[in-house]
Amino acid sequence: MNDLTNPPGRGGWKLMAALGAALLGSSVTGIAAGPAYAAEAAVPKLDTIRVALFLETAKYSAPATSVTLSAEAGLALGLREAGGVKPVYAAGPQEAVRAYADGYQALLLETGDAAEAKALAQKRTAGGDDVAVVQRTRAGKPAYQVLLGPFATKEAAAAKAGAAAAVQGPLHLLAGQYVTAAEAQTQAAAIGAAGFDADAAVLGGDAGGYAVLVGAAADSAALQALQGQLAAALPATAPQPLAAAQPYALLRSELAVAADGKASPQQAAAFGGGTAAKLWAASAGARGTVTVQERFGRAYRGGIELSTLGGKLAVVNELPFEQYLVSVLGSELSKEWPMEALKAQAVAARTFALKQSASKYTIAQVTDTTLDQAYKGIAVEFPQALQAVQATEGEVLTNKGSLIDPLFYSNAGGVTADSAEVWGNDVPYLKSIASPDDGAAAGKKLWYRIVLPNGNTGFIHSDYARDTGQKNPAGLPYYESTGTGIAVRSAPYVDNAANPALFKVDIGDRFVVIGRETESNAYSWYRGPFDAAKLKDKITASLPGALPGGLDSLEVTKRGPSGRVLELKAGGQPLKTAYPDSLRSLLGGLPSTRFEIEDTGRYTILGADGTTRSQSAGSPAVYVTAAGATPGPQGGGAQYVLDGSGQVRQVTKTPQFIFRGKGNGHGVGMSQWGAKGYAELGYDYKKILLTYYQGVTITSK
């Protein structure tokens, strides 16, 4: 059911709406109204919000085939229906339950050898597959089924597993309905002893109650054959195909196989019965949370709803709206930040969430990512965030009676962007202004750009390099490493994925320092060098055919009011993107579009007679000579040139590109670091908001 204000259940199965009041306390009143602060009845109200954790739609893709749920106080799992939640399983404290949408699975192996099943499951899991080991009984002895999936279609399961694997499906036989779970479990065991796969289940809708479901057929022919076999073996069961639209949740016993090969018993719950079927998970404790292992092990307030969308699993966290905002603040900002900056973020976050359509992602208003606003569950909450949400309760930003789009981001790099220079459309309240963002660079250490005797070059953190007091013939200082196994990277920051070590130096290794850069941060940053051929591959992956020739040059041809890049030419060809901010991803994920480009294959030579010569990869060779030596052409490797001011530049035979920039994010609207800066200058949250969103009104709903 998609009515977000409908309580999900009764008694212990109900999502406790009172959690909001318990966490957030009474509402805050008594804030004076003024020219930029008024009450407007048109502002929407939202009691609960639905946050997509795993979902696949045209607007967002975060796939999952199953999730593992648990709760400190125990987990209450049930079928969610219009009238409430029908209990399915009560897990103990910290007990993990694997939950998934009943679908098509490939049977990779059935064996009585638990070790064999565990070994195969571990191997396939290490390869990235979703594998389950279901425990069955065959002739009174344990049997283990290694199942791959589930998948949305029979064909997908067969394609992934190979022709040798048998495909199971979500078609079941109904073999009796019962008053208690114990009766259903006893009957399922009896049918299992006769050689059939049988599971206890809970039926939803008018059918209600407990049942036994037999088999897992992939098509109607297989289901019909199974019906005949079961009727012949156990006539009293009177098996009938379960109606396709009948909601159900069945329980299976599995072995959870860890990465180290250890296995432990685990309950699994599969739900099905058409698009109306929903599984609801909530903590058994009144103030408890639910942990989703596959979502970084995060714990969430409210409850977790599992359903299907487009035949694939959808996992949504539904929780009280104001509680959601507390976690958003904890995810976006730091507890050390000034209260007025936190309040400004609270109002912006509340406005943003309310602005989103209830069907933006079909069954959710927002995602938990920065595609909307970051939301990382309870672990990031802190008291100051709660205080900021309470102090601004109900406050939103409006323009002409409607909610604005309160865009925000990490850092403006000193000046925000006009909306037109980022997305090409003019929004009156989103104009370019100065922004005190440089606090992000405070305290950042220097990194040295070094060159080793073998020609290797890169950046080393200044904490691991010591000046020897000696200089080379060009007057550049010799430093040495103060540690062993110290990483030298392409750019001055640590990110083992995006900026891994090029090589390492050990204690006492000597090198020449040719430059210094502040460690890249949200205010100022350095990226590269990017080889021309690799950068061309990145560009053409997004814009096929954009560069028919090589990428021998890259230049900014137009900038906006804030200095952000609006247009680029690559290899002399304009790069035509949907909007200017797309250039960030086109160039490999740059933090912002407020950047300068250094082309290491291009430089200017000043002759003795005052003439200049622009040199690039396509220019005639440069001849280099030293006193008493025979002139020769520039070598194929990197060269280093010293300009008149004593600055050293690397010169490469083929083009490489370095980007130096300011800011982090699209730059439109409120800079979070700028809000911090203004708060430290004495601005209150209302003045911060009205500075970044010009001409708007702070409205109390």
What confidence score (pLDDT) does residue 16 get?
A: 26
CA–CA distance, 74 with 661 (Å, rounded to integer): 50
Give the closest residue to 674 by CA, choosing from 312, 295, 416.
416
Which H helix or E strand runs over 192?
helix 181-193
pLDDT-derived band of residue 9, with 50, 70 and 90 as boundaries?
A: very low
pLDDT the model gives residue 23: 28
405, pLDDT greater than 90: yes
Window from 442-451, 540-549, 633-642 with minimum mean pLDDT? 633-642
Residue 123 has pLDDT above 60, yes or no: yes
Find the mean pLDDT for residues 529-535.
92
User: Which residues 6+ apart lie within 8 Å of 469 measured at CB?
Assistant: none
Would you say residue 277 has pLDDT above 60?
yes
Average pLDDT over residues 405-420: 96
Detail the DSSP E strand segments found in 180-262. Answer: 198-203, 210-217, 240-241, 248-257
The reported pLDDT for the residue numbered 618 is 54
φ, ψ of residue 372 to 5 degrees: the values are -115, -90
Using alpha carbons only, give the angle 365, 269, 264 rounded to the nearest 5 degrees: 120
pLDDT given at position 25: 31
pLDDT band, very low/low/confident/very high, at 148 (cuts 50, 70, 90): very high
**Using 50, 70 and 90 to split pLDDT, how confident is the model at 473?**
confident
Average pLDDT over every residue of 540-555: 88
In the predicted model, is pLDDT for residue 361 greater than 50?
Answer: yes
Q: How far apart are CA 535 and CA 587, in angstroms?
A: 7
Among residues of the chain, what percentage have pLDDT more than 70?
88
State residue 624's pLDDT score.
60
Mean pLDDT (the chain, rounded) = 88
- pLDDT confidence of residue 607: 57
pLDDT at residue 7 in the model: 28
pLDDT of residue 633: 59
Q: For position 28, what pLDDT does the model report?
A: 29
pLDDT value of residue 6: 30
175: its two tokens: 């073999």
**Residue 284: partners with Cβ closer than 8 Å, 6 or more residues away:** 12, 71, 73, 74, 75, 76, 90
Per the model's pLDDT, the better-predicted residue between 425 and 686 turns out to be 686
What integer pLDDT is reported at residue 630 of this predicted model? Answer: 62
User: Does residue 5 surpass a pLDDT of 50?
Assistant: no
Gap between the Cα atoms of 175 and 149, Å rounded: 25
Could you tell me which residues are beta bridge partners of residue 649? 641
pLDDT in tens, 21-40: 222 332 322 333 334 444 44
**Confidence (pLDDT) at 679:** 98
By the 8 A CB rule, do 247 and 85 touch?
no
| Average pLDDT of the residues in 417-446 | 95
**Average of per-residue pLDDT across 585-596:** 95
CB 432 within 8 A of CB 611: no
User: What is the C-alpha separation between 363 and 681, in angstroms, rounded?
Assistant: 42
404-406-408 Cα angle (round to 5)? 165
Q: Is the pLDDT of residue 136 over 70?
A: yes
- In this structure, of 10-14, 306-310, 560-564, the range with the lowest mean pLDDT score is 10-14
State the Rg of the chain over Cα: 31
Which structure tokens are listed for 91?
């897990």
- pLDDT number for residue 621: 59
Report d(CA 162, CA 157) in Å as an integer: 8
DSSP annotation of 352 reads H
Asked whether residue 3 carries a pLDDT value surpassing 70, the answer given is no
Terminal C-alpha separation, the chain: 27
pLDDT of 435: 98
Residue 585 banded pLDDT, cuts 50, 70, 90? very high
pLDDT score recorded for residue 546: 84
For residues 399 and 694, give the distance between their C-alpha atoms in angstroms, rounded to a whole number.
Answer: 10
Supply the pLDDT for residue 359.
85
Strands 303-309 and 279-283: antiparallel
Query: In the predicted model, is pLDDT for residue 343 greater than 50?
Result: yes
CA 558 – CA 420 distance, rounded (Å): 13
Among 71-80, 121-130, 216-225, 389-398, the minimum mean pLDDT is found in 121-130
- What is the per-residue pLDDT across 296-318, written as a single tens digit (0 to 9) for each? 999 999 999 999 999 999 999 99
pLDDT digits (tens, 9 = 90+) for 53-75: 999 999 999 999 999 999 999 99
What is the model's pLDDT at position 650?
Answer: 75
Cis peptide before 529 (omega within 30 of 0): yes
Q: What is the CA angle 341-344-347, rounded to 5?
A: 150
- pLDDT above 90 covers a percentage of the chain that reads 73
What letter represents residue 330's amino acid? G
Question: Alpha carbon of 104 to those of 168, 196, 481: distances in Å?
Answer: 6, 18, 57
